[in-house]
Amino acid sequence: MQIHPSQSANIILSKIAEFKPKIGLILGSGLSSLANAITQQITFSYADLPGFPVSTVAGHPGQLVLGYLGEMPVACMQGRIHPYEGAPYSAFKTVIRTLKLIGCEILITTNASGSLREDVGPGQLMLITDHINLHPSNPLIGPNDEEFGPRFFAMDEAYDVKLRQRFRTVAHSLNIKLAEGVYLGIPGPNFETHAEIRAFKILGGEAVGMSTIPEVLVARHCGMRVAAVAAITNFAAGMGNEEITHEHTLHYGKLAATDMSRLMTSVLESLHRDPC
């Protein structure tokens, strides 16, 4: 049975008193160190939040950290769940709607991705401009939960135009090279065949990964604004010389994490000073 997100939200709200997070942050593979910069931390293990599947992947600690990044109040998922771990797609409704119910108006999500572009390599960041969904299911299949959003909803500009502009401006000011591109999402857990990567390029994919899209669908359904940044950890299968492994993902995820942390911290500072 689907667990209502108010169960987790109430547990969190009962412990955070006046604190109200404005931004939900999801940290992908190898990127969880950003949460260490959060001050006045209140931490919840996913195991203590009803309906939060516990992540089983190395590099995904599995806790929700509330507190301030700079001066911005955030709720940060240090590690996320993935469909390939066996979490049902419907679990994304519980997780994202919990963030919404505790006050988050914006979801900023990060991930590790393979690059389909020759000019964007391991260690670089790519701002996601749009996506192509090749997942076999969708968290929103089933009876519609009218209290969160309508049965049918648009995905035009799912990645918020104003937030993207802010990322661009901040990256420029920090001298961080921020590529932009379309994210193509597959369920995994296997990396792709060479033929699949050739096909994904023809489809218009510029980065490929196993996460993000289910979260973004639920967030857009309930009216949260979304921004997403991929840390490129490898050239996609058949494009580079190195074998693609999860260790490789974590290694290059950590390399990209420095720029990712600088970028996120400054974007949040900027949004705190001058909301858009």
Residue count at the site for ligand HPA (CB under 6 A)?
13
Q: Which amino acid is residue 197, in one-letter code?
A: I
Q: Which of these segments, 13-21, 143-151, 212-220, 229-237, binds ligand HPA (CB under 6 A)?
A: 229-237
Q: Which of 113, 212, 266, 270 binds ligand HPA (CB under 6 A)?
A: 113
104 phi, psi to nearest 5 deg: -70, 125
Binding of ligand HPA at residue 206 (CB under 6 A)?
A: no
- Per CB under 6 A, contacts with ligand HPA among 237-276 are 244, 249
**246 an active-site residue?**
yes
Q: Which of 210, 213, 229, 264 binds ligand HPA (CB under 6 A)?
A: 210
For 136-191, what is the HEC assignment? CCCCCCCCCCCCCCCCCCCCCCCECHHHHHHHHHHHHHHCCCEEEEEEEECCCCCC
């240090």: which residue's tokens?
78
- What's the rounded Cα separation, in Å, for the pair 196 and 175? 34
The nearer residue to ligand HPA, 167 or 252, going by C-beta atoms, is: 252
- What's the rounded Cα separation, in Å, for the pair 26 and 227? 11
The nearer residue to ligand HPA, 38 or 184, going by C-beta atoms, is: 184
Binding of ligand HPA at residue 191 (CB under 6 A)?
A: yes
């858009």: which residue's tokens?
276
Binding of ligand HPA at residue 49 (CB under 6 A)?
A: no
- What's the rounded Cα separation, in Å, for the pair 103 and 2? 21
Q: Catalytic residues, which ones?
A: 29, 60, 82, 84-85, 112, 210-211, 234, 246
Contact set with ligand HPA (CB under 6 A) = 112-114, 191-192, 208-210, 233-234, 236, 244, 249
